[in-house]
């Protein structure tokens, strides 16, 4: 049997090596040494960075969607 597919392979947490801007809110900055959420957009499209405050909102929304999908798929059992 194959291992489960990684549907989150394009999402990671990094420590900024230099100052970055938050893609969701340009008034938020990510300082060198701060953690940030990084979402790869595609092979040749680069990635987008999100500060901790925005990352929490993004991850909370993803968790709600994940829970809804899991609930929907398991209702038949």
Mean pLDDT by 10-residue block, N- to C-terminus, for the chain (77 residues)? 93 98 96 98 89 98 96 82
Of all helices (H) and strands (E), which one includes residue 49? Answer: strand 46-50
pTM above threshold 0.75? yes
Q: In terms of Cα–Cα distance, which of 41, 33, 32 is closest to 12?
A: 41
> What pLDDT is recorded for position 46?
92
Question: What is the pLDDT at residue 45?
Answer: 84
What pLDDT does residue 76 have? 67
Cβ–Cβ < 8 Å for 54, 28:
yes
């Amino acid at each position: 049997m194959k291992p489960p597919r990684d549907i989150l392979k394009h999402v990671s947490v990094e420590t900024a090596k230099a100052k970055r801007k938050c893609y969701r809110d340009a008034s938020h900055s990510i300082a060198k040494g701060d953690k940030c959420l990084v979402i790869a957009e595609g092979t040749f499209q680069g990635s987008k960075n999100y500060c901790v405050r925005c990352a929490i909102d993004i991850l909370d929304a993803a968790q709600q969607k994940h829970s809804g999908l899991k609930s929907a798929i398991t209702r038949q059992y």
